[in-house]
Amino acid sequence: MAERADFSARWIAKRAVKAALAGALTAAGIHHAVRLVRRRQAGGSRVLILSYHRVTPDFAATARESLASLLVSTDTLRRQLELVGRRNDIVSLEEARRVLAEPPGRRRRRDVVAVTLDDGYADNAEHALPILAALKVPATVFIPTGYIGTERRLPHDRLHAALTELGRRGVPFERAGLPSPVQALLTACAESGPAATLDRLISRLPHDRLVALADALEARLGRTERDLPAGTRLMTWDEVRALDAAGIDVGGHTVNHAVLSNLPLAEARRELGACRDHVLEHLGKPPRHFAYPNGYYTPAVQREVGAAGFEAAVTIEDEENRRGQPAYGLKRKVLWENSTLGPVSWSGVVATCNVEGVFASLGLARPVPGVRPDPLPEPGVRTAPEADAGHRAAS
């Protein structure tokens, strides 16, 4: 208990230092300078695309049982959207793309922001939609169609829950007692905690091996994916249709939330085509936009996204969107509860520095890579080269 209290005190102190720094930077007007510099980099008005995942009325309670970096509370979501709406026009992803297609040098009075939500969690319909509707904010929701309308849970939720339970039981990941092949996978990716280990697993392993590892961990712990918290449930197709009827754009996120850069190209092609066809079947129209699961992509994957009929695709690379950039590499900023958190609660200065890109411009935020080189055409090679996973668990 004393160790936990000490950690909490250190964490609060760290947040206090960050808030103090943000206060000093905003008082000096650094955020205005960063905005001007980034406008020049963008070749005109800035186009900021935000990425969210789960929305919950009670962040603290939900974070105790789920992957915290996926979460934003309803109150914080509203505050964040109100913050960006004060100085920017919040537009649809389609309109944001039109702005990026404008000739370089054309400047609008205000920059634009588009809002997206990944993974199709049920709380997008229950908790996010009322806020979006009340604020008249357009949005795009990206869904992994193989999970919609089922009791299945996404691999990252399953793995995080299992790794967390191992930690609670005091079982080292390297000695989890799994069958040899899957234990070797976990041992090779083991880090100091569940989130870091999960990031490395997702970075390195193809989808089928992630699922096999989740199956083995759940069997070891005597549980199934249906034992996960109810908040990890994804939407039904009726809920997806309700979002569509409310004017929310529904985009693709593969069938199985599979990291496409970790798959053979033929398998990636199947994930894209079947996802497109599922949305067409249930909504009567194909999806126009696509989000790369966990943000990873390759040039070959980008070409396949276009060939599948998607008009554009988004990453989670927190970089400036620029005029004339490829439509299949749109950059996004991932936001969650702590993105705008001071020592203990919402901080307007921290929010401003994060949203405006001040921390990133000063090298105080870790960049998130996305693009990977196309793999060598070696038969049988299924794992992708390791990369810095960054903030991957939130995609």
Are residues 116 and 255 both part of a single domain? yes
| Per-residue pLDDT at 105 | 67
Q: What tokens does 307 get?
A: 């060939």
| Per-residue pLDDT at 388 | 37
Tally the domains of the chain: 2
Round to whole Å and give the CA distance between 258 and 278: 16
Categorize the per-residue pLDDT at 5 as very low, low, confident or very high, splitting at 50, 70 and 90.
low
Residue pLDDT, tens place only, 91-126: 999 999 999 998 876 767 799 999 999 999 999 999
Are residues 124 and 198 both part of a single domain? no
362 domain residue, yes or no? yes
Categorize the per-residue pLDDT at 324 as very low, low, confident or very high, splitting at 50, 70 and 90.
confident
Mean of the pLDDT values across residues 223-234?
96
| Per-residue pLDDT at 310 | 98
| Per-residue pLDDT at 265 | 94
Mean of the pLDDT values across residues 363-369?
82
Judge whether 349 and 367 are in contact, CB under 8 Å.
no
Are residues 134 and 277 both part of a single domain? yes
**Computed from CA positions of residues 273, 275, 278, 284, in that sequence, does the dihedral angle turn out positive or negative?**
negative
Give the Cβ contact number of residue 195 at 10 Å. 21
Are residues 376 and 359 both part of a single domain? yes
Are residues 267 and 127 both part of a single domain? yes
Are residues 112 and 135 both part of a single domain? yes
Are residues 164 and 279 both part of a single domain? no
Residue pLDDT, tens place only, 20-33: 999 999 999 999 99
Round to whole Å and give the CA distance between 395 and 80: 19
Are residues 219 and 297 both part of a single domain? no
11 domain residue, yes or no? no
What length does the chain have? 395
**Computed from CA positions of residues 197, 202, 204, 205, in that sequence, does the dihedral angle turn out positive or negative?**
positive
* Average model confidence (pLDDT) across the chain: 92
9 domain residue, yes or no? no
Range of the domain at 375: 18-150+240-394
Listed range (3-7, 180-184, 231-235, 313-317) with the worst mean pLDDT: 3-7
Are residues 376 and 256 both part of a single domain? yes
162 domain residue, yes or no? yes
What are the Cα distances from residue 313, in Å, to 38, 102, 286, 297, 318?
A: 22, 18, 14, 10, 14
Judge whether 224 and 153 are in contact, CB under 8 Å.
no
Are residues 258 and 347 both part of a single domain? yes
Listed range (150-154, 168-172, 376-380) with the worst mean pLDDT: 376-380
What percentage of the chain reaches a pLDDT higher than 70?
92
Bridge partners of 52?
117
- Checking if the pLDDT of 390 tops 60, the result is no
295 domain residue, yes or no? yes
| Per-residue pLDDT at 364 | 84
7 domain residue, yes or no? no
Are residues 141 and 159 both part of a single domain? no
Judge whether 42 and 322 are in contact, CB under 8 Å.
yes
Round to whole Å and give the CA distance between 144 and 151: 13
Are residues 360 and 265 both part of a single domain? yes
Q: Closest Cα to residue 173, out of 194, 157, 154?
A: 194
Q: What angle do CA 286, 287, 288 make, to 5 degrees?
A: 115
| Per-residue pLDDT at 7 | 58
Round to whole Å and give the CA distance between 228 and 207: 20
Mapped onto helix, strand or coil, the DSSP state of residue 292 is: coil
Q: What tokens does 50 get?
A: 């935000």
